[in-house]
Amino acid sequence: MVNRLIHFAKPIIDDEEYDAVKAVLDSGMLAEGKVSRELEKEFSAYVGTKYATVTSNGTTALSTALDAMGINPGDEVITSPFTFIASANSIAMVGGVPIFVDIDPDTYNIDPSLIEAAITEKTKAIMPVHIFGLLSDMKHIMEIAENHDLMVIEDACQAHGAEFEGKLAGSFGHTAAFSFYATKNMMTGEGGMITTNDEEIMDRALMIKNHGRGKGGGYSHFQIGYNNRMMDIVSALGRVQLKRLPKVTKIRREYAARYNSLFAEYDQIAPQKEPEGYKSSYHVYGPRVISGDKTRDGIISKLKERNIGARTVYALPCHMQDTYLNIQQWRWAKFVAYPDYSALNLPNSELVGNTHFDIPVHPSITEEEMRHIENSIRTILS
């Protein structure tokens, strides 16, 4: 028995993080500046896009990018309901209308074969969410977008380092957004990043995130904007974390492979499917209970009894959250017509929501703890 709690997520904070933050504090230049420019260069080079800019968090990365892509009040944006609510909320924040399309029950990502039926005259964009670090079917989604003249924004908030055929999350769509929230594979506490190859979109995003300031800075302003900037103290953490990301991703994949071979012994559990050519970044390891007499909640409580920080993250898909059931209370509802979200029937999102459980998969887990988790799963499932 391991007596300490094995946390569901645990950020790595090493001497390098302390040194990097201290250097910024010593410089006296705390706000977004030189260090953030360095991080942006390094991040876009890593992802494989021409441009990147930091934002205060993943939500503002999404809303700023949507705004910069020209999403206006009443525009429909197709997205997945099986995600953290910020994906959908970022659409609603700019006045857009989230249109939820069901997921594939094996990959948990938006099912591309259902997207075309959801496209209307009002559709402007698709926001695939690479859930748990597994890339959505971007080949198919980009084809649909091209055929219907739609924009694509990747919600890559959980997908730093995720790959499809060697190409990284954040390099497929017209834009992408990342989160550096404290639990993410690359973290800064709070923080975010937009990536794109489109210079015009990037120029607009730079204005929107910084009070509509022009490139020269100063006190000339050209449009309404926000303060969605990120501090250099935070970017300093990001630079260290980005350097470490390949190692972190490798360990997460090794742990996930161990869980996959363990669950292969049990018919009642199915891991999230990583199709041929895909390499998940395993932000979350979340298999599903598909048969047998063990319930998802029962498994989680038995894991917790053994000091294993297990949980379920999205039991309630976005369209079933009060936020969307009560969308008429949102300020844009005075001007924008929303669908009746309560009438939506998205069975796969509900199924995955009701049956998945999530177990620790991060690099701070020791070998002893990993064995304890594996043995506990065997005991619970046998």
Q: Where on the chain is the footprint of ligand PLP (CB under 6 A)?
A: 57-59, 83-84, 86-87, 129, 155, 157-158, 179, 181, 192
Strands 175-179 and 76-79: unpaired
H-helix segments, 125-231: 138-147, 199-208
Residue 269 one-letter amino acid: I
**Nearby residues of 211 by Cβ (< 8 Å), 6 or more positions away:** 221, 225, 226, 227
Closer CB to ligand PLP, 104 or 381, in the complex: 104
C-alpha to C-alpha distance for 248 and 316, rounded to whole angstroms: 29
Closer CB to ligand PLP, 87 or 376, in the complex: 87
DSSP letter (8 states) at residue 172: S
Supply the minimum distance, in Å, between the C-beta of residue 129 and ligand PLP.
5
Supply the minimum distance, in Å, between the C-beta of residue 183 and ligand PLP.
8
Supply the minimum distance, in Å, between the C-beta of residue 55 and ligand PLP.
9
Closer CB to ligand PLP, 98 or 266, in the complex: 98
Residue 124 one-letter amino acid: K
Closer CB to ligand PLP, 46 or 178, in the complex: 178
Supply the minimum distance, in Å, between the C-beta of residue 214 and ligand PLP.
27
DSSP letter (8 states) at residue 118: G
Closer CB to ligand PLP, 160 or 204, in the complex: 160
C-alpha to C-alpha distance for 304 and 267, rounded to whole angstroms: 22
Closer CB to ligand PLP, 192 or 353, in the complex: 192
CA distances (Å), 179 to each of 192, 253, 290, in order? 4, 20, 31
Supply the minimum distance, in Å, between the C-beta of residue 352 and ligand PLP.
14
In the chain, helix, strand, coil percent, each to 5?
Answer: 40, 15, 45
Supply the minimum distance, in Å, between the C-beta of residue 369 and ligand PLP.
24
